[in-house]
Structure 1
Amino acid sequence: MEPRMEKGEEAESVKITSQLLKAKTGEFDLESILLLKLRGLGIVDLGCLGECTSLEWLDLSGNTITHLGPLSSLKALAVLNISSNRIVSLEPLSGCENLQSLNAAGNLLSSLQQLQCLMGLRHLENLRFSNPMGRLSNPFCATPGYRVAMAEMFPGVKVIDGERVSGCGSELYQLCKDLDNSLKRFHITGVSELSGLSKPWVEEGYWDVRPVRRSSIVEEAYKQFNEVLQECRDLSKRADDTISQVERALNIRPDSSSYVF
């Protein structure tokens, strides 16, 4: 699905200037800016954004951006959200050598070949090009099996479109996914509604997590542990809810000894 133009969008074309950045952040020196949220401002031209050379977290979602040229100089950038724009090329991102998370859902990327410029990014772990909940996608997402092809292109990536494909939690996610698929095969009255219970493995706010400073090794390890722990808690609750739904639909008495994991 292509990004939609909002009412009055053309009249609010904005170019990023040093004055705009200073007003948004309160920083006098552009090189001191670490986090920048410029969501839904009608931005068309990234202007002087490339001068924010220390920038680690950037949200440009919901604008009308077509070209990412200035981002090529952001070597420290770790998290980037460019969803819901009009981007046709990711080539400048090849210079973002520390990029870890990229959300580019809702743009105009037409083929998987356009992602080859990202293959040299060794720290890349999270990629999103489709967001069904937000009804955002890219033209190439209509290609059958594109997620499998992406997993082959980026063997180091752990999350694609909000679903873990490798790393901690991937086996548990697959187990829950298999359970969902099994439940969908039931045709008993009242069970069919269960097919809508499944939710994305990674919540919507996943892409808004601020990157931990690279020097904080202990803090980074603690953050990753808590992320995995929260995923396990969410999976446990989801499994309990699904089993309860099946019990009620089949009108059977719960027997804890019958569940073996």
Structure 2
Amino acid sequence: MMDSKRDKDQVADCDKITAGLLKSRTGEFDLESILFLKLRGLGIHDLGCIGECMTLERLDLSGNNVSTVAPLASLRQLIVLNLSSNRISNLEPLRTCESLQSLNVAGNNISSIENLHCLQSLKKLDNIRFKDNTYNYTNPVCRNASFRTIVLEMFPNIKVLDGERVVGRGSDLYQLCKDIDDTIKAGLYKNGQLVERPDCKPWVEDNYWEIRRSNNAIIDEAYKQFNDVLHECRLLNNRATHVISQTERSMSLKKQPKQYAI
């Protein structure tokens, strides 16, 4: 009975960020000493005292029930912020996070371009994610046909948008991959119907894509981002295999001699 009560108390503690929760997760006695914090998937809906972590540089709050980010306004040294898969519709408090370079808000309730104007004051912000196809995360604002163009105009310093490098080294590769992906998608359909994929031998072994995990928060986050890219490559590999198989079948049929009735 006591164990059951203790479990309920621990769950209740996760609903709201408290000093006790932060100290137990990081091992730090002083909230201002915390530099990296991962609170992913804990059911948090109230950010509580998170604003007291004045020196915080990296924060992961993905997969929670957060609807307001007001307590984050005091985190002026925050560099990387992951708020994906929450219930956020207003980003206004983030305008004071002047050190912010990377922001992930995919999978929230951001509904209009106007909700993004507050981020224009963040001159160091060069990596923004509003949608993540790997996890099927998006925002209502992404339905706007001109969304990508508008965002690139609003944030002239942006280097990476929704996981795709748009300027600088590597941007040509991202554009090439996008063009290839579009071509592959077009090849998946014939006369408007999705063509069934035949059995094909994979290009690599199943465990080729697996990576080892780490208990280090920084390395773990790097692994997560890298694993996301590998997952996208996996999907691209599957689609490419299908199109190649379809092309080979088509070429094989063309090479067969024509039969004439006598």
TM value normalised by structure 2: 0.68
The structure having more radius of gyration, on CA atoms, is 2
- Identify the residue that residue 121 of structure 2 maps to in structure 1: 120
Q: 1:142 to 1:185 in 2, by over 3 A?
A: closer
Name the count of aligned residue pairs: 211
The equivalences for 1:240-251 within 5 A come to 248-249=248-249, 251=251
Distance 1:149 1:22, change over 3 A: same
Note closer, same or farther for the CA distance 1:177–1:35 as it changes in structure 2 (3 Å cut): same
Say if 1:113 and 1:193 are closer, same or farther in 2 by CA, change over 3 A. Answer: farther
Paired residues of 2:33 and 2:55 also in contact (CA < 8 A) = yes
CA contact (8 A) 1:79 1:210 kept: no
**Contact 2:38-2:217 at 8 Å conserved across structures:** no
Structure 1 counterpart SS, 2:134: helix
Task: Give the drift of 1:81.
Answer: 0.6
Q: Give 1:172 shift.
A: 1.7
**Structure-2 residue corresponding to 1:84:** 85
Task: Structure 2: give runs of 5+ residues left out of the alignment.
Answer: 1-7, 198-210, 253-262
Match of 1:37 in 2: 38
Compared with structure 1, are the counterparts of its residues 141 and 127 closer, same or farther at alpha carbon in structure 2 (3 Å cutoff)? same
Asked if 1:156 corresponds to 2:147, the answer is no
The SS at the match of 2:45 is: strand
What's the CA shift string for 1:47-78, capped at 9, x where partnerless?
11111111111011111111111111111111
Partner of 2:166: 165
User: Within 5 A, what are the aligned runs for 1:218-233?
Assistant: none
Asked if 1:98 is matched to 2:107, the reply is no
Q: Report which structure shows greater RCO (CA 8 Å, sep ≥6).
A: 1
1:59-208 aligned within 5 A: 59-183=60-184
Segments of structure 1 that go 5 or more residues without pairing to the other structure are 1-7, 195-204, 212-222, 253-261
Which residue type is aligned with residue 137 of structure 1?
T
* Distance change >3 Å, CA 84–CA 247, structure 1 → 2: same
**Residues in 1 aligned to 2:185 and 2:142: alpha-carbon distance in whole angstroms:** 24
- One-letter amino acid of the counterpart of residue 30, structure 1: L
Q: CA deviation at 1:174?
A: 1.4
